[in-house]
Homo-oligomer: A and B are copies of this chain.
């Protein structure tokens, strides 16, 4: 059986109270007693039961992380960075891959509440639908509008969309299309599209956005790519709202004999480590994933400590254009 505090106490010849105190380094304890307790803990290979502690303290030091899927490199990296920051301050992460499925997300939310997480970081698309306000739980959203009072951490999506579209225009593209995930007008990521539209209009061109519905299904990426090439044969510029879309489009275009970037220039979005490794030639807009993670955790911590004094409702980090060979 696992040793408990009582066993340690018995072996050290003290009371459980005392053991607890040396465990928590709290109150005055005689040096000698302390040593005895430590010795006993070692001997028994004792480690405290965090469940019992948390039950009493009403604090688990666990946060929930809800994202679509770690399979997507952006979220894979974001998850790593968030977990990494958390680990460095002794927080733990309960992982939830919602695949943007509302039912799953609902289940996860319920699960997280039951497990008494101290806070939740949400990086999914299901904006506004679930009640994340419930029991004054700490919540931070990444790149998503969840509700009015929930802080949003994002990168400068408008700037990213603008940089991307302007780059294509400046390279002489006359027929620039945009590929995007499911539309979500209230959400910051939407600003990429808005920027695209603004730049297009300013240039006297007609903005056209193609939408990929099943974002996590490679086949659907290719179908949209085919559709674009069928419907707009003179397309010469594509701004894809993530690197995976961009890569799929490029592969489809090449299959049709198009030269990249001579015939069609393509720029992606996200600029993850993985996409840079696997597709180093892809021009893209890079999001500062580590910064996003750090801000999200920082703001969450503040909320959990009840510090709403300077609660920032918006944090926006700069993006970076990675100029490579597909434009």
Q: Give residues in A with beta carbon < 8 Å to B.
A: 2, 45, 47-52, 54-55, 60, 62, 65, 69-73, 76-77, 79-80, 83-84, 87, 92-97, 104, 107-108, 110-111, 113-116, 134-135, 218, 221, 243-244, 247-248, 251, 272-282
Distance from A88 Cβ to chain B, minimum over Cβ atoms (Å): 10
A51 close to B54 (CB less than 8 A): yes
Question: Known contacts A76-B70, A77-B70, A95-B93; is A114 also within 8 Å of B49 by CB?
Answer: yes
One complex includes copies of this chain to the number of 2
Can you report 8 residue pairs joining A to B where beta carbons are below 8 Å apart? A49-B116, A51-B115, A73-B76, A76-B76, A94-B94, A218-B276, A244-B277, A247-B279
B278 close to A275 (CB less than 8 A): yes
B278 close to A247 (CB less than 8 A): yes
The docked-state distance in angstroms from the alpha carbon of A60 to that of B71 is 26
- For A79, the chain B residues whose CB sits under 8 A away are 70, 76, 79, 95
A247 close to B70 (CB less than 8 A): no
B94 close to A244 (CB less than 8 A): no
Distance from A98 Cβ to chain B, minimum over Cβ atoms (Å): 9
Beyond A50-B114, A51-B115: 12 further Cβ-contacts under 8 Å? A47-B110, A50-B115, A55-B55, A73-B76, A83-B97, A87-B97, A87-B104, A94-B94, A94-B95, A247-B279, A248-B277, A251-B281
Distance from A212 Cβ to chain B, minimum over Cβ atoms (Å): 12
- For A114, the chain B residues whose CB sits under 8 A away are 47-50
Q: Which of B48, B70, B278 is in CB contact (< 8 Å) with A70? A: B70
The docked-state distance in angstroms from the alpha carbon of A211 to that of B148 is 52
The docked-state distance in angstroms from the alpha carbon of A324 to that of B47 is 52
The docked-state distance in angstroms from the alpha carbon of A95 to that of B65 is 10
A274 close to B115 (CB less than 8 A): no
A96 close to B83 (CB less than 8 A): yes
Q: Which of B84, B111, B247 is in CB contact (< 8 Å) with A92? A: B111
- For A48, the chain B residues whose CB sits under 8 A away are 114
B92 close to A92 (CB less than 8 A): no
Question: Known contacts A95-B95, A113-B47, A116-B49; is A76 also within 8 Å of B84 by CB?
Answer: no
Question: Known contacts A71-B274, A76-B71; is A115 also within 8 Å of B94 by CB?
Answer: no
Q: Which residue of B lies closest to A48 (CB)?
A: B114
